[in-house]
Structure 1
Amino acid sequence: MAESKAPRATSNRSTTPGSDTFRDFISSGWADRPADTQVPREQTIFASARRATLSAMYPGKRLIIPAGAAKVRSNDTDYAYRAHTAFAHLTGWGSDAVANSVLVMEPAADGHVSTLYFREAAGRDSDEFYANPEIGEFWTGPRPSLAHVAVDLGLETSNLAGFAAVLDAIDATTLVVRDADREITDTIDGRRLLAAETGSLDATTGAERDDDEILARDVSELRLVKDGYEIEQMRRAVAATKQGFDDVITDLPQIIAHSRGERLVEGTFNRRARAEGNAVGYDTIAASGPHACILHWTRNDGPVVPGDLILMDAGIELDSLYTADITRTLPISGTFTDVQRRVYEAVLEAADAAFAIVRPGIRFREIHAEAMRIIAEKTAEWGFLPVSAEESLQPDAQYHRRYMVHGTSHHLGLDVHDCAQARREMYLDRVLEPGMVFTIEPGLYFQPDDLTVPEEYRGIGVRIEDDIVVTESGAENLSITIPRTADDVEAWLAAR
């Protein structure tokens, strides 16, 4: 397990003193730390309810949900740590989570007993606190204590060393979220295989893996309907994201002046993300001019040129790890040209038509169909399709999809594309319920070399994306305060 690994600092470059004199000196002379006055965090009661729901689905099964290890960026430097989404959802630990932690739900007579295993701070009687660059307090700051986290999250806690006993008890009742921590998954598979060979496991390893996949599916589907805490976090993430868009508009003169203005857009927004939350929820798309026709343009190394549009797809992830996902398309000079406005207003009409049908009882896929109806009608009206809009909308035609190949909506929450392991009947074909949160994001993209459209359209890409929550009577656009009509966007830019 990760706890036994040696520090990454290699002996050929380590200058850490190793004498007994130094160890004695550095281990003494420290003031007592203040008493811990931690109180449970706001999400504790909600995370507990989620675990109870999962517990009821898996009576008698041991469930292992790892947070995951840190991921190496280069040599001995890691990417910023983010716990696995299922772990974050079921513990509520958010950006404070410690790498390599594991949530274990042990079956009991009345459900499950949940224990959070993590590596707590190394004591100052150990040389780890100054000599281990992965977990040493001198290197990474103090770690929370077991007692602190127990109160903070309302969970039983245990040192990570105790997780070895859980692994020793692996049997047919044990399931693991497989993609969260490869080392733990491999260890569990090995124990299962050994147990099967010795006859102490009735189930085959293959069958257990199938059950693991069902667990991954179920913890994904558990997030399809958000609770009150989650919806409030989404509101806050959207509000922070609006600030980020405002910052970019304020900085437009410097952005335009730089040869790689898209990078400045990204940097300005990311600064706000770090100030108001944990980070960006995904790589910011700052796509100016024809780059807006590249759906996942994240190189962001081009200029921002007056006369063009810039498509900005960005979202701030809070410390709770809930993220917004907003797209706005802005005329860099401050006003749309006639053709740009025509395309923009067509996309807006599609977005508004899709939003207008959202209510409990419809199926998720109907949102996309409604947006596509408008996209087909507009592209047919402009003469871009070889058939009528009605003919293009037939399943075996779909000519209009040349100009919008992506879907209109995806679920949103802890992941920007949340609940991705849910079954089709629970995702695309699911009947909407109050508390579901998703995007509506139609677009039109006319590639610079697309000969099926007039020259004045080529190189124009427009997307408008909002974050939506289903209510008891309909839906609420959480991002409605971020200007979205053509006139409001122009006024927004004029006010900078």
Structure 2
Amino acid sequence: MSETTDTSTAPVEPELTETATDERDRNANRSTTPGSERFKDFISSGWAERDEALPPARAQAAYAAARRAAVSQAFPGQRLIIPAGDLKQRANDTEYPFRAHSAFAHLTGWGSDSEPGAVLVLEPEGGEGHLATVYFRERAGRDSDEFYANPAIGEFWIGPRPSLAHVAADLGVATRDIGEFDAVIDRVDTATLVLREADAALTERVDHARIRFAAEEALSTNAQDAPFSLEVGADHEPDGELARVCSELRLVKDDFEIAELRAAVEATSRGFTEVLSELPRITAEVRGERVIEGVFATRARLDGNDVGYGSIAAAGPHATILHWTRNDGPVVPGDLVLLDAGVEMDSYYTADITRTFPVNGTFSDVQRQVYEAVREAADAAFAIVRPGIVFREIHAAAMQVIARRTAEWGFLPVSAEESLDPSNQFHRRYMVHGTSHHLGLDVHDCAQARRDLYMDGVLEAGMVFTIEPGLYFQPDDLTVPEEFRGIGVRIEDDILVTADGAENLSAGIPRTADEVEAWVRQAQR
């Protein structure tokens, strides 16, 4: 089955998306855009010719085609609708930066340059295979009001937008204007599937179309007196199957994905070192954690699309709060900083790395004791990684070390062996989170995969995941000596399963206590 570019259809005058209409309405009472015919004639003329040269297909296009073929094989004869999603309102007429749904990005190869409101449709072709088409809003002609008067999609406001032909060549997939997507809705039947979570408004249209089709089918078969129902909504099981397949397809990364993850790790490493170089400024600010966040975010925007998730810049006792993202506290010499951050590339692939370092460049004896115990747990988990083991074994290996060390320190009411019994787990008081999660387009990638392929899944070469044990002693935890209270340590690395073992993609970022101390001091010279 081949996918051909189809741009022969004449452009359809587009209707505004719900988001674009909402923004136009929210903007109406402060609009001063001229509306005279003479102005319209003037603004639509005198423009240089556009460069219409078509680009070669991007490197990811061939990989995306292979992924679509895998999804096609899983759903023979069924129409599949995978939206990118649309802009989301932040406040009044401002939106959050757009990020396409990860499944859409994976199956099209379209990343940070993707268009809000785009939709990938896999249309069944005869007996086998699907024809893939990406629907999105064609750029407005300079003779249209949209070009200069619409702040949501006009090029005067948001810059140049791609043509259908440009995207078709770039992604190696057929394209059509979003105005033609109504014809897809008209063809929706009860076998049509939609990725529900990507675009609520579009999903609702598909639901109504499926109900309408089923009702018409019932009437056409003279079954109008028979009870009719079609289950749709958040728990619509067939749609869940599409989400599951799209998620499981990302469990094993291809060569392009691995290269992007390597690049994300390299950029993240640069961001960490730049944070350390700014420690004098960081410690001078009342909200020094915000400076850490800002320095890293600058690197993320320079090298990639953005941060892959809300950075955790947790200093002192804030490091004991697992998802501390307020980042509004001081950074005090003598304390530790737990920095959990990752650069997301323009392809959307993200790193997820944590390092814990002493603000003044030297661990105290207790800080070093905790730090090296966490590193021992991380190293024990990494040591067993190879194809053929079960994913959950990684966590078990780390927990053996955490239980042993906390028992040795006298923090547990039982021995390490007794604590490891599933009916006890006392050591988990100091590390309640898991040790690993898959990594890729989402920081917690493949989250809708079946448990027997994820937590109970067997490792394969090409899988990428984190190893991230930690120890967190809350400031008011009376089960530990006072000198431990308020110390939080996590070490997180990004791991690639290879044919005969594993590679720590982030091993180049200092990990041992001695290395981290030298790193902090060197960065400030």
When the two structures are superposed, what TM-score results if normalisation uses the length of structure 1?
A: 0.98
Structure 1 stretches (4+) deviating beyond 4 angstroms? 200-204
Equivalent position of 1:439 in the other structure: 466
Question: Match for 1:206 among 227, 231, 235?
Answer: 231
Counterpart position of 2:17: 3
1:174 aligns with 2:192: yes
CA positional deviation for 1:190? 1.1
Alpha carbons 1:293, 1:447 under 8 Å: kept: yes
Q: Does 1:31 align with 2:48?
A: yes
CA distance in 2 between counterparts of 1:3 and 1:115 reads 19
- Counterpart CA distance in 2 for 1:353 and 1:320 is 32
CA offsets, 1:184-210, max 9 Å, x none?
A: 100111112222233359995327921
Contact 1:2–1:100 under 8 Å retained in 2? no
2:390 to 355, 360, 363: 363
Distance in 1, matches of 2:16 and 2:347, equals: 25
Matched residue, 2:166 = 148
Q: Determine if the alignment matches structure 1 residue 256 to structure 2 residue 283.
A: yes
User: Counterpart in 1 of 2:485?
Assistant: 458
Spell out, residue by residue over 1:115-168, the C-alpha distance to the aligned partner (whole angstroms, 9 max, x if none): 000002110111110000000000001110000000100000000001010001
Superposition pairs of residues 185-196 of structure 1, within 5 angstroms: 185-196=203-214
Question: Which whole-Å CA distance do the structure 2 matches of 1:289 and 1:176 have between them?
Answer: 46
2:154 to 136, 159, 164: 136
Task: Describe how 1:253-402 pairs up with structure 2 within 5 A.
Answer: 253-402=280-429
Alpha-carbon contact 2:190-2:214 (below 8 Å) kept: no
Counterparts of 1:11 and 1:33, CA distance in 2:
31
Equivalent position amino acid for 1:178 in 2: R
d(CA) in 1 for partners of 2:172 and 2:212? 36
Q: Deviations over 1:459-492 (max 9, x none)?
A: 0000000000000000000000000100000110
What is the Cα deviation at residue 53 of structure 1?
0.6
Q: Structure 1: where are the runs of 5+ without partners? A: none
Give the deviation of 1:212 after TM superposition.
0.2
Letter paired with 2:69: A
Q: 2:331 and 2:229 mapped to 1: Cα distance?
A: 58
Conserved 8 A contact 1:115-1:158: yes
Structure 2 counterpart of 1:79: 96
2: CA distance, partners of 1:204 / 1:216: 23
Of 225, 243, 246, the residue aligned with 2:252 is: 225
Q: Which position in structure 2 is the counterpart of 1:68?
A: 85
**Native 8 Å contact 2:354 2:491 kept in 1:** yes
Q: Residue 65 of structure 1 aligns to a residue in which SS?
A: strand
- Correspondence 1:105 to 2:122: yes
| Offset at residue 35 of structure 1 (A) | 3.1
Cα distance in 2, alignment partners of residues 312 and 34 from structure 1: 45
| 3-state DSSP of counterpart to 1:444 | strand
**Aligned residue among 448, 456, 463 for 2:475:** 448
Shift of 1:173: 2.3
Contact 1:266/1:300 (<8 A) preserved: yes
SS of corresponding position for 1:287:
strand
Deviation at 1:36, TM superposition (A): 1.5
For residue 273 of structure 2, the aligned residue among 240, 246, 249 is 246
The partner residue of 1:120 within 138, 158, 174 is 138
> Corresponding residue for 1:53?
70
For 1:317 and 1:186, the matched residues in 2 are separated by 31
Amino acid at match of 2:207: D
Percent sequence identity over matched residues?
66
Match of 2:10 in 1: none
Q: 1:259 to 1:477 in 2, by over 3 A?
A: same
Q: How many residues align?
A: 496
Equivalent position amino acid for 1:377 in 2: R
1: CA distance, partners of 2:142 / 2:218: 43
Q: Which moved more, 1:207-216 or 1:431-440?
A: 207-216
Cα shift readout 1:300-329 (whole Å, capped 9, x = no counterpart) = 000000000000000000000000000000
Name the SS for the 1:268 alignment partner: helix
CA distance, structure 2, for counterparts of residue 153 and residue 34 of structure 1: 18
CA contact (8 A) 1:3 1:119 kept: no
Provide the rounded CA distance (Å) in 2 between the counterparts of 1:243 and 1:284. 15
Question: Which residue number corresponds to residue 471 of structure 1?
Answer: 498
CA contact (8 A) 1:3 1:160 kept: no
Q: Does the 8 A contact of 2:313 with 2:338 survive in 1?
A: yes
**1:224-264 C-alpha deviation (Å, 9 max, x unpaired):** 00000000000000000000001000101000111100000
Name the CA distance, whole Å, in 1 between partners of 2:394 and 2:26: 53
Q: Deviations over 1:403-446 (max 9, x none)?
A: 00000000000000000111111110000000000000000000
Deviation, 1:2, is 5.2
CA distance in 2, matches of 1:250, 1:8: 47
- 1:22 aligned to 2:39? yes
Q: Is the 8 A contact 1:189 1:205 kept in 2?
A: no
The AA in structure 2 aligned to 1:205 is L
- 1: CA distance between counterparts of 2:63 and 2:25? 38
Task: Measure, in 2, the Cα distance between the counterparts of 1:413 and 1:449.
Answer: 37
1:182 deviation in Å?
0.4
* TM-score, normalisation: structure 2: 0.93
The amino acid across from 2:199 in the alignment is D
- Aligned mates of 2:82, 2:425 — CA distance in 1: 42
CA displacement, residues 8-61 of structure 1 (integer Å, 9 cap, x when unaligned): 453321100000000000000001012324111010000000000111111000
- Spell out, residue by residue over 1:324-376, the C-alpha distance to the aligned partner (whole angstroms, 9 max, x if none): 00000000010100000000000000000000000000000000000000000
Pair 1:197 & 2:215 matched: yes
